[in-house]
Amino acid sequence: MLDLADQSSIAALVAATGEAERVAIAAGIYTSAPALETTREQIDSVMAINLFGVFFTAQGYSREMISRRSGSIVAIGSISGRFPRMGQVAYEGAKAGMRQALRILALETVPLGVRINVVSPGPTETEMMHKLMADHPELKNLAAGNLDSFRPAVPDAHVGRPEQVAAAAAFLLSPDSAHIAFHDLYIDGGETLGI
């Protein structure tokens, strides 16, 4: 089993599958607490996977792809990486850091034949979304928004589906997106208003 918090586990994965031309990194954990109550342990555990694990996985595959001067990587981020949410300092800090770290890696590797992009979903019908709902019981309807928690409504009036996120990642991994690099594609029904 892969443990993204363990660099030796990442190294073993890359060694076993380094010939991959297209790599999607869909990994993340979630915890919530008010910012004034968030602990170092909470931040460390989320950063270990959502930032460091994702970055070092992308770095490992980038090294392999550079040797062939060909390859594409997409990581699953979150609109939370740019759009603040109450109670999500660890998760959002990690996603924001991941986004920026991958953009720097992309900047350095795109001249060497490697494209790196991020897909950032908004509210999506996943297990993690249900956990968020449990942690934030005032969010009865994510698509409708909630002024008390500073969450805007989703303009297309529904949460996303995992297959919509997967389709965006597949496009960014494909040759059809050959001229797209270090892009962050929002899959959010317009919630962030394109900001």
DSSP tag of 74? E
Residue 152 CB-half CA count within 13 A: 14
Which residues 6+ apart lie within 8 Å of 16 measured at CB? none
- The amino acid at residue 85 is R
Tokens 């950063």 locate to 47
Q: Decide if 28 contacts 96 (C-beta within 8 A).
A: no
91 is an active site residue = yes
Q: Which of 93, 73, 70, 71 is nearest to 82 (CA)?
A: 93
Token digits for 124? Answer: 């999506």
Q: 25 in helix, strand or coil?
A: strand
Catalytic residues: 91
